[in-house]
Structure 1
Amino acid sequence: MDKDLLFKYNTPGPRYTSYPTVPYWQTTPPTQEKWKNLVKEAFTFSNHKEGISLYIHLPFCESLCTYCGCNTRITVNHAVETKYINAVLKEWEMYFSIFGETKPVIREIHLGGGTPTFFSPDNLTRLVKGLLKNADVHPKAQFGFEAHPGNTTDEHLQALYNIGFRRISIGVQDFNPLVLAVINRHQTYEQVSHLTKKSREIGYTSVNYDIVYGLPQQKTCYMMETMMKVIRLKPDRIAFYSYAHVPWIKPGQRNFTELDLPDPDKKMAIYETGRNALELAGYKDIGMDHFALETDELYKAQMEQRLHRNFMGYTDTRTQLLIGLGASSISDTWTGYVQNEKKVEDYYKRIDKEEIPIIRGHELTKEDLILRRHILNLMTQFETSWTASGEVCDEVYRAVERLSEMEFDDLVVIKPYHLRVTEAGKPFVRNVCMAFDAKLWASLPQTALFSQTV
């Protein structure tokens, strides 16, 4: 990979789990009534055709991993589990009232956090059974959860398997003890190995590892050692992404300084080391920091042009309606987004008032919908085209103009009504998406807002 290009295009940019990105949503969220109407429309279209997706945010962790950018609540008091589950199930009942007499068909469930396995196996079982009560499960449903190697037990694995889970995402980050100590992450290679092997023994069909580059005290040799261990355990898919240093948003990251982070040269070397190791081991670049074996459903979905990306990341399941439950979770009707209250206490207050706990949101304009489609195409297929009136607007042509330099660098190929990201351009697909981001170009950030694209 060309080192000069890595430095040239390593600029701050969004991760594009949505378009418009959250900082550019409308200042006033949709009203309760408006949001219910958007949900009803999406449900009517999505439920009978492909089902609907659920994301449940479980924010609790026993200790703070100082690199983490997620919405978390640190506590060792497990008595919080019951109250939180009750609130989530009550929120779900509010959505049931929107659906009317039609049973929801659940196509996808993802438990994210925080640390979902902070919750006991019995409580997770109660939660999921409560979600599925009075609902149908799609015959091709995919249920997955995020697992911390330090506290995910065999009982967790078996209990979740028994209620339909077949995918597990393990937070590895790095195997080096020094790096793990700096980010306050308490786990071992042996725990990850056991979790991986036990998952497969029980019957899980997909194992993902999260690996982060650019962490404090991380070195190239550490990444090589980490990747050798990863390759030995052979997860089906890997999210290999850049550490987002945003201490102005996440104060926990102030436990170390910029001096503890690898400088740009070293960070690029760490990235190239990891990427090269994965490619030599047979992992394919799915896009935006994700790699998968050819036997994995993500890779197959990309080859069959059915790969999708939403607030849960890449998925081979695509539904028009994604409902987020729990504090800070995000819902998507395709034509609109909302995010729930972030603070657990504020979330509880809104639930007690029998309100859908919306704190912000965005209803997409016609231009938003066009640009969203092109950005999604680029993220999932590395190409997009515009031949019909519903696929083009002035911003599409402005995007093409903005990509002239990337075309000169052989990172994209531009033809009439068509754009393709080259093999060399795949690591820079976020930069390509940024060219289509009309909201970003209309109001370029004056302060630090996003992490680096590479």
Structure 2
Amino acid sequence: MYRHPHLAQKYNVAAPRYTSYPTMPYWDQSTFSRDKWEMLTARSFNESNNEEGVSLYVHLPFCESLCTYCGCNTRITKNHGVEIPYIEAVLKEWGTYRKILGRKPNIREIHLGGGTPTFFKAENLQMLIQGLLADVIVHPDAEFSFEAHPANTTAEHLQTLYNLGFKRLSLGIQDFDPKVQHIINRQQSFEQVLDITLKARLVGYTSINYDLIYGLPLQTMDGLINTMKFVAGLKPDRIAFYSYAHVPWIKPGQRKFTELDLPEPHLKSKLHEIGRSLLRSFGYEEIGMDHFAMPGDKLLVAQQNGTLHRNFMGYTHQHTQLLIGLGVSSIGDAWYGFAQNVKTVEEYLQMINAGELPVFKGHVLTTDDLIIRKHILNIMCRNKTGWNHHTEPSEAMFDGIERLEALEQDGLVELNSHGLQVTELGQHFLRNICMALDARLWADRPSTQLFSMAV
């Protein structure tokens, strides 16, 4: 990308990451209600449960210390007495969904995110998972995964979750440079990461992912190269190589440093390109946006055969129409609508204990939304999409196609009367390409910055 600095500068605008469409700031609250969410959840479940199954995302928000780069919903505490009440609340919420579904769900995916799932004791995570899996069908292709902090993940965590069906592990590393780790308050040594990686493989985990970030404060080219060399020696199966999202107006913890500590846009572009080049030289192949995998990995196979999917949990090789989010701030996707839970632990517990579904906002997709969502998913997952104006007439799509013409002139896409193909250069700018089709954003351009920068 740094070979085209003028394009990096031109397209370095605030842009969504498109884990959904419409993006959350453009959800229409006027058409949403909890009753409607329950109806959409039941509809999606009845359409898809038998073959596809259902995905569950469980948000475990607690961390013992604040990582200042983090944009997730977290609760900082060293009081582990919070574990059991929170798990009991999540299981009560799941019980409410079980009543909405009306019959046994076929569980295809479970992902534990956070926060720090390994903040919880292994025995308490066992209580959670056994509660979720009580009296359900587990899909024959089910895949369970969890996120972990290398500094507090134990052999007991690994063995307990493996025994419960977890085979995928994601370790948050970000950068091995001590200066970067200090300023973002995310400290783990190479030795700790090596130890957890070896133990997980010995237990039987079939896929280990490392999360890395470029554009962090005080990050340098030499530091990133050294981090990549460490990673190459450990050979994780997958790597997520994310752009740092600087949103201090949303996450006050990021105010520990300023924009002056961040790599300027041209250097950030170089960090991205060097990181990508190194990962490819190590044998990794690129998947969609920000993700890499070794040949033969299921995520890569899904991209190659056109079945790659993207949702609020990121990229997955399995598509489920219904994703149920459990826990504080979790987001659910019933395909025809989205819903998010309340964002504070106190309000979440209060609503659960009152017997209420803890949803506080959402969106019901319109016909135009469903059309545009399909094309944005295709671009993010397949680098191409096709349209037929006779079978899906949409004035919003026509306008989006006109906006894409400027991107075609810059060599980011190739357009024809039936669709588009993202070029190799355009793969650096997927967020910008999707943004051209984002009818809701263009109909109501924000007066203040809502999203992180695209580059």
- In the superposition, the TM-score normalised over structure 1's length comes to 0.98
Query: 1:245 and 1:29, CA in 2 relative to 1: closer, same or farther beyond 3 A?
Result: farther
DSSP-derived class of the 1:14 partner: coil
**Pairwise CA distance, 1:29:** 6.7
Query: 1:389 and 1:199, CA in 2 relative to 1: closer, same or farther beyond 3 A?
Result: farther
Partner of 1:52: 54
DSSP-derived class of the 2:424 partner: coil
Aligned amino acid, residue 333 of structure 2: D
Query: 1:152 and 1:287, CA in 2 relative to 1: closer, same or farther beyond 3 A?
Result: same
Partner of 1:368: 369
Partner of 2:45: 43
- Given that residues 167 and 207 in structure 1 are in contact (C-alpha distance below 8 angstroms), is that contact kept between their aligned partners in structure 2? yes
Question: Hey, what's the Cα distance between the residues in 1 that align with 2:428 and 2:203?
Answer: 35
Equivalent runs, 1:46-445 vs 2, <5 Å = 46-100=48-102, 102-387=103-388, 389-445=390-446
Moved more, 167-176 or 193-202: 193-202
Partner of 2:34: 32
Question: Hey, what's the Cα distance between the residues in 2 that align with 1:134 and 1:24?
Answer: 38
Question: Hey, what's the Cα distance between the residues in 1 that align with 2:226 and 2:31?
Answer: 47
**Pairwise CA distance, 1:362:** 0.2
**Pairwise CA distance, 1:294:** 1.6
Partner of 1:446: 447
Aligned amino acid, residue 231 of structure 1: A
**Pairwise CA distance, 1:265:** 2.0
**Pairwise CA distance, 1:392:** 4.1
- Given that residues 322 and 332 in structure 1 are in contact (C-alpha distance below 8 angstroms), is that contact kept between their aligned partners in structure 2? yes
Aligned amino acid, residue 401 of structure 2: V
Report the identity percentage. Answer: 58
1:14 equivalent to 2:21? Answer: no
DSSP-derived class of the 1:79 partner: helix
- Given that residues 43 and 99 in structure 1 are in contact (C-alpha distance below 8 angstroms), is that contact kept between their aligned partners in structure 2? yes
**Pairwise CA distance, 1:394:** 1.6
DSSP-derived class of the 1:398 partner: helix
**Pairwise CA distance, 1:228:** 0.9
Question: Hey, what's the Cα distance between the residues in 1 that align with 2:361 and 2:119?
Answer: 27
Query: 1:186 and 1:269, CA in 2 relative to 1: closer, same or farther beyond 3 A?
Result: same
Aligned amino acid, residue 376 of structure 1: L
Moved more, 279-288 or 12-21: 279-288
Question: Hey, what's the Cα distance between the residues in 1 that align with 2:182 and 2:30?
Answer: 42
Aligned amino acid, residue 58 of structure 2: I
Q: Once superposed, which parts of structure 1, at least 4 consecutive aligned residues long, lie more than 4 Å away?
A: none
**Pairwise CA distance, 1:390:** 4.5
- Given that residues 149 and 192 in structure 1 are in contact (C-alpha distance below 8 angstroms), is that contact kept between their aligned partners in structure 2? yes
Question: Hey, what's the Cα distance between the residues in 2 that align with 1:93 and 1:43?
Answer: 15
**Pairwise CA distance, 1:387:** 2.2
**Pairwise CA distance, 1:14:** 0.2
Aligned amino acid, residue 166 of structure 2: F
- In the superposition, the TM-score normalised over structure 2's length comes to 0.98
Moved more, 392-401 or 201-210: 392-401
- Listed as ranges, the gaps of 5+ residues in structure 1 are none
Partner of 1:5: 7
**Pairwise CA distance, 1:7:** 2.0
DSSP-derived class of the 1:425 partner: helix
Question: Hey, what's the Cα distance between the residues in 2 that align with 1:261 and 1:229?
Answer: 23
**Pairwise CA distance, 1:3:** 2.7
- Listed as ranges, the gaps of 5+ residues in structure 2 are none
**1:248-276 alpha-carbon deviations (Å, 9 max, x no partner):** 11011111111111112221221121111
DSSP-derived class of the 1:185 partner: coil
Quote the RMSD (CA, aligned, Å). 1.1
Query: 1:127 and 1:398, CA in 2 relative to 1: closer, same or farther beyond 3 A?
Result: same
DSSP-derived class of the 1:69 partner: coil
Question: Hey, what's the Cα distance between the residues in 1 that align with 2:177 and 2:30?
Answer: 45
DSSP-derived class of the 1:48 partner: coil
DSSP-derived class of the 2:112 partner: strand
- Given that residues 145 and 169 in structure 2 are in contact (C-alpha distance below 8 angstroms), is that contact kept between their aligned partners in structure 1? yes
- Given that residues 241 and 291 in structure 2 are in contact (C-alpha distance below 8 angstroms), is that contact kept between their aligned partners in structure 1? yes
DSSP-derived class of the 1:432 partner: helix
DSSP-derived class of the 1:166 partner: strand
**1:81-130 alpha-carbon deviations (Å, 9 max, x no partner):** 00000000000000111122x21010000000000000010000110010
Aligned amino acid, residue 69 of structure 1: G
**1:22-73 alpha-carbon deviations (Å, 9 max, x no partner):** 0000134732221111111011011112100000000000000000000000
**1:155-177 alpha-carbon deviations (Å, 9 max, x no partner):** 10111000000101110100101
Aligned residues: 453
Query: 1:65 and 1:390, CA in 2 relative to 1: closer, same or farther beyond 3 A?
Result: farther
- Given that residues 176 and 227 in structure 2 are in contact (C-alpha distance below 8 angstroms), is that contact kept between their aligned partners in structure 1? yes
DSSP-derived class of the 1:374 partner: helix
DSSP-derived class of the 2:185 partner: coil
